[in-house]
Amino acid sequence: MSTAPLIGFVGFGAMASRMGANLVRAGYQIAAYTPSGKGGDGSTRFVSPPRALAQEAGILIACVPDDEALDASMHGPDGALAGLKAGSLLINTSTVAPETTEALAATCAARNIRLIDAPVAGSTPEAESGNLIVLAGGSADDIRQAQPVFDAIGRLTIHAGPIGSGAKLKLVINGIMGATLAVVAEGVTYGLAAGLDRDMLFNALDEVPVISPHHKRKLKAAKARDFSPQFPARLMQKDMRLLMTDAARQTAPLPAMAAATQGLSLTRRRHPDEDYSALFAVMEGMVANTP
Provide the pairing of β-strand 89-92 with 114-117: parallel
State the pLDDT at residue 262: 97
State the pLDDT at residue 1: 47
State the pLDDT at residue 88: 95
| C-alpha–C-alpha distance, residues 11 and 61, integer Å | 8
Instruction: Give the active site residue among 168, 170, 218, 238.
Output: 170
Q: φ and ψ at 137, to 5 degrees?
A: -115, 130
| C-alpha–C-alpha distance, residues 105 and 116, integer Å | 9
Is position 170 annotated as part of the catalytic site?
A: yes
Contact 182, 259 (CB under 8 A): yes
What's the Cα-to-Cα distance from 35 to each of 39, 76, 206, 233, rounded to whole Å? 10, 15, 41, 22
Domains of the chain: 7-161 (3.40.50.720), 168-286 (1.10.1040.10)
State the pLDDT at residue 291: 46
Radius of gyration of the chain (CA): 20
Contacts of 218 (CB under 8 A, 6+ apart): 181, 184, 275, 277, 280
pLDDT tens, 22-38?
Answer: 999 999 999 999 998 88
Put simply, whether the predicted model's pTM sits higher than 0.85 gets the answer yes
| C-alpha–C-alpha distance, residues 108 and 110, integer Å | 5
pLDDT tens, 37-82?
Answer: 888 888 999 999 999 999 999 999 999 999 999 999 999 999 999 9
Chain centroid to CA 105: how far?
19
State the pLDDT at residue 4: 75
State the pLDDT at residue 122: 93
Contacts of 42 (CB under 8 A, 6+ apart): none
pLDDT by residue for the chain (291 residues), tens digit each? 456 789 999 999 999 999 999 999 999 999 999 998 888 888 999 999 999 999 999 999 999 999 999 999 999 999 999 999 999 999 999 999 999 999 999 999 999 999 999 999 999 999 999 999 999 999 999 999 999 999 999 999 999 999 999 999 999 999 999 999 999 999 999 999 999 999 999 999 999 999 999 999 999 999 999 999 999 999 999 999 999 999 999 999 999 999 999 999 999 999 999 999 999 999 999 988 654
The three-state secondary structure class of 274 is coil
